[in-house]
Amino acid sequence: MSNQPETNIAISFLNIHNIITRGLKVSLESVQGVIKRGIQGEKSREGFFNFIRALTSVMNAHHLTEDEIVFPYFRDKLPEAPFDSLTSWHHEMGLRLDEINLALDKCADKAQLETELRNIENPLARLNEDWPFHIQPETDEFINLADALIPVEEQLRLVRLFAEHGLKNAVPHYLTVPFMLYNLPEDDRKVFSERMPAEVVQNLVPIVWKAKWESMKPYLLE
Ligand SMILES: [Fe+2]
Ligand SMILES: [Fe+2]
């Protein structure tokens, strides 16, 4: 066994960024498939909408955590890092996420469905395109510098703090927690779930919440 912590800052950001990267890609491909084939042919109508809803909530929560506690923490240590521009990017992406949620709300009306699917596809396509260019400077300008700047014990405290903050805003938990866990491959999921309360991972997700999230399974990893 190495003495390296299993959940340092770099790993925890890599995981949440990977969750969102996959969530965006799968959502976009699914919505394009539904536009082409119609919702009747979709693997799970409920799961399709739940998956996209969970994505928008997890993304918003991640941006809030960065703006409210991550960037303020790093600002003193890395005064040259582009935190202001990253925050305005969050604001821009937040507007796209609002558009998606508005369209999701209107999808219940069958007459509007085709139009609203396009209103989901367009902002999703932009987010999917922009996302790699947003996380690259985050990775280069503060995430990958964390190991050199912050002692191991302090990193563990921060990882927990960031995770709690993110979880608080990512609602409903019965969708967002399984969304986060099962957009990660198994090995990464194990590491990611270590910072969650055991009750959530061992009881709430697999048993208590199962009926509420399992519609998303066709879109999630095993
Ligand atoms: Fe960000
Ligand atoms: Fe980020």
**66 Cα to the center of ligand 2, angstroms:** 7
State the pLDDT confidence band at 6, using cuts at 50, 70 and 90: low
**22 Cα to the center of ligand 1, angstroms:** 16
Chain mean pLDDT for the chain: 94
Distance CA 215, CA 50 (A): 8
**13 Cα to the center of ligand 2, angstroms:** 7
**120 Cα to the center of ligand 2, angstroms:** 22
Q: Which residue has the higher pLDDT, 121 or 41?
A: 121
**161 Cα to the center of ligand 1, angstroms:** 17
Q: What count of residues does the chain have?
A: 222
Question: In Å, what is the CA distance from 13 to each residue of 119, 187, 188, 209?
Answer: 29, 15, 12, 26
**146 Cα to the center of ligand 1, angstroms:** 16
Q: What is the pLDDT of residues 103-127, one digit of tens each?
A: 999 998 889 999 999 999 999 999 9
**83 Cα to the center of ligand 2, angstroms:** 11
Q: Assign residue 185 a region: left if phi > 0, alpha if psi is -120 to 50, beta otherwise?
A: beta
State the pLDDT confidence band at 5, using cuts at 50, 70 and 90: very low
Of the chain, the percentage scoring pLDDT greater than 70 comes to 97
Ligand nearest to the CA of 9: 2
Average pLDDT over residues 68-95: 97
Identify the pLDDT of residue 2: 43
**147 Cα to the center of ligand 2, angstroms:** 17
State the pLDDT confidence band at 3, using cuts at 50, 70 and 90: very low
Identify the pLDDT of residue 41: 73
Identify the pLDDT of residue 183: 98
**18 Cα to the center of ligand 2, angstroms:** 10
Whether the per-residue pLDDT at 72 is higher than 70: the answer is yes
**42 Cα to the center of ligand 1, angstroms:** 31
Q: For tokens 């539904």, what's the residue?
A: 34
Distance CA 107, CA 53 (A): 12
**Upper half-sphere CA count for residue 166 (Cβ side, 13 Å):** 23
Q: What is the pTM of this model?
A: 0.95
Average pLDDT over residues 193-207: 93
**35 Cα to the center of ligand 2, angstroms:** 30
**208 Cα to the center of ligand 2, angstroms:** 30
State the pLDDT confidence band at 39, using cuts at 50, 70 and 90: confident
Ligand nearest to the CA of 88: 1
**89 Cα to the center of ligand 1, angstroms:** 8
State the pLDDT confidence band at 42, using cuts at 50, 70 and 90: confident
Q: What is the pLDDT of residues 119-170, one digit of tens each?
A: 999 999 999 999 999 999 999 999 999 999 999 999 999 999 999 999 999 9
